Amino acid sequence: MPALDTREKLAAFGGPKAIARHDPDLFDWPIVTAEDEQAVLEVLRRKAMSGTDVTQQFEREIAAFHGRKFALAHPNGTSALHMAMHGCGVGPGDEIISPSFTFWATCTQALSLGAKIVFAESRPDTLNLDPADIEHRITKRTKAITVVHYCGYPADMDPLLEIANRHGLKVIEDVSHAHGGHYKGRLVGSIGHAAGMSMMAGKALAIGEAGMLLTDDRQVFERAVAFGHYERTRPGTKYCDEPCLTDPDLMKYAGIPMGGVKYRLQQLASAMGRVQLKHYPARLAALQAAMNRFWDLVEAEIPDGVTAHRPPQGSGSDCGGWYFPRGLYDPSKMRGVPASRFCELLNKEGFHAAAGANEPLHLHPLFKDAGCKIEPLPVTESLPGRCFGVPWFKHDHPERIAVYANALIKVARAVRAGEAS
């Protein structure tokens, strides 16, 4: 730990800034090398952007990475999750249960399938869907539960699957924040009935605008192919060595996508995806070491009030790519200082922080106007004051990460000592 004095006066009150200059090297991502450039150029020079040969290779590799039978590439995470929902049978008159504390694309596509969204509570310790708040929301119209591994933290899949299986529901994982993460030793994206993930340029596994649907269920795969991948519906089209479509009810519409949408991924992203996926485990290990180092330093100094949003050590669970990383904030341990004020003080130190995460979806007028039954979710509504964004370190430079940890320690100490107002 560098000898920076974390007891100095806060920058907000005229003290020196804890972070004198932003350190862009710590955050540089994705790592793009000549290997990515060569792979993309190969597609470009072949003018094969709209083909599927590279995409199919990428699909096989990412399916194998997750131990899944099927992977179907999409132009973005939104469409991949759309097809996970349709694949799982979500349609007109149905309901899905979703957390409200997430990005809209975890659930909003259900509206375009003619279904309604029923929002459920998330927990303040994990920021994830609360399994204890699901069962009383299930009706005879419920088809699926969508669950996001929010801000990297793996959702509590065991009880969610137990409830879903007992009621004959599907569980759809949104893996957009947690690529390569584990839940009790199992890779996220390989646990639910289907999974969708974003791989847009800002994500941990970043390959441009891209998305992936993963499933072991042939019916989910075939329904997704038939809905939005017309070029794979023609007789003789193969997925690995098997026919893409086997269901006669889907095969009869060969050549025209049943959903009237075209969800083929362009191959420049697939080419980059193959290279990024190959290097992902090693790069992820460095990213995880950096994020854990940051939080270990903070938690060694601050007993409570400001804690890491990460699963306990030894649980077999981890935050994968740590997209959109949060700290948990408990105002009752911080002299009642609101998270927004705490973040103001951090920003003055040169530590970029914002209170909350995504705005709770159930408070947005869209869902009520679309006919969803909206109920108050008091826990979810409290969450924007119970968490805050922290820097997303990608590279493990101990001395430089300690500067950021010290800034957080400095502000947390001052707030706890009553020096914040």
Ligand X SMILES: Cc1ncc(COP(=O)(O)O)c(C=O)c1O
Q: Given the rule CB under 6 A, which residues bind ligand X?
A: 76-78, 81, 102-103, 105-106, 148, 174, 176-177, 198, 200, 211
Q: Which is nearer to ligand X, 200 or 271 (CB)?
A: 200
The residue among 316, 314, 309 whose CA lies nearest residue 292 is: 309
Supply the minimum distance, in Å, between the C-beta of residue 174 and ligand X.
5
Taking residue 92's Cβ as centre, other Cβ atoms within 10 Å add up to 7
Supply the minimum distance, in Å, between the C-beta of residue 384 and ligand X.
16
Supply the minimum distance, in Å, between the C-beta of residue 165 and ligand X.
24
Supply the minimum distance, in Å, between the C-beta of residue 205 and ligand X.
11
Supply the minimum distance, in Å, between the C-beta of residue 265 and ligand X.
11
Q: Which is nearer to ligand X, 43 or 107 (CB)?
A: 107
Supply the minimum distance, in Å, between the C-beta of residue 172 and ligand X.
11
Q: Which is nearer to ligand X, 215 or 406 (CB)?
A: 215
Q: Which is nearer to ligand X, 58 or 351 (CB)?
A: 58
Place of tokens 């400001």: 306
Q: Which is nearer to ligand X, 19 or 188 (CB)?
A: 188
Amino acid making up residue 85: M
- Alpha-carbon Rg for the chain, nearest whole angstrom, is 22
Supply the minimum distance, in Å, between the C-beta of residue 76 and ligand X.
3
Q: Which is nearer to ligand X, 127 or 346 (CB)?
A: 127
For residues 133, 135, 139, 144, the Cα torsion angle rounded to the nearest 10 degrees is: 80
Residue 335: both structure tokens together: 């002299």
Supply the minimum distance, in Å, between the C-beta of residue 195 and ligand X.
11
Q: Which is nearer to ligand X, 211 or 384 (CB)?
A: 211
Task: Please tell me the distance from the alpha carbon of residue 164 to that of residue 160, in angstroms, as a whole number.
Answer: 6
The residue among 185, 189, 238 whose CA lies nearest residue 211 is: 189
Find the length of the chain: 421
Residue 103 DSSP code? -
Q: Which is nearer to ligand X, 63 or 204 (CB)?
A: 204
Supply the minimum distance, in Å, between the C-beta of residue 177 and ligand X.
6
160 touches 40 (CB < 8 A): no
- DSSP labels, 207-222: -SS-EEEEES-HHHHH
Q: Which is nearer to ligand X, 245 or 357 (CB)?
A: 357
Q: Which is nearer to ligand X, 78 or 406 (CB)?
A: 78
Task: Please tell me the distance from the alpha carbon of residue 94 to that of residue 340, in angstroms, as a whole number.
Answer: 38
- In the complex, residue closest to ligand X by CB: 77
Supply the minimum distance, in Å, between the C-beta of residue 84 and ligand X.
11
How far are the Cα atoms of 127, 177, 329, 357, 388 from residue 326, in angstroms, in the given order? 10, 12, 9, 8, 5
Amino acid making up residue 90: V
The SS3 assignment for 282 reads: helix
- DSSP labels, 40-86: HHHHHHHT-TT-SHHHHHHHHHHHHHHT-SEEEEESSHHHHHHHHHH
Place of tokens 């290279």: 275
Strands 186-187 and 182-183: antiparallel
Query: Cα 82–88–93 angle (5° rounding)?
Result: 80
The SS3 assignment for 409 reads: helix
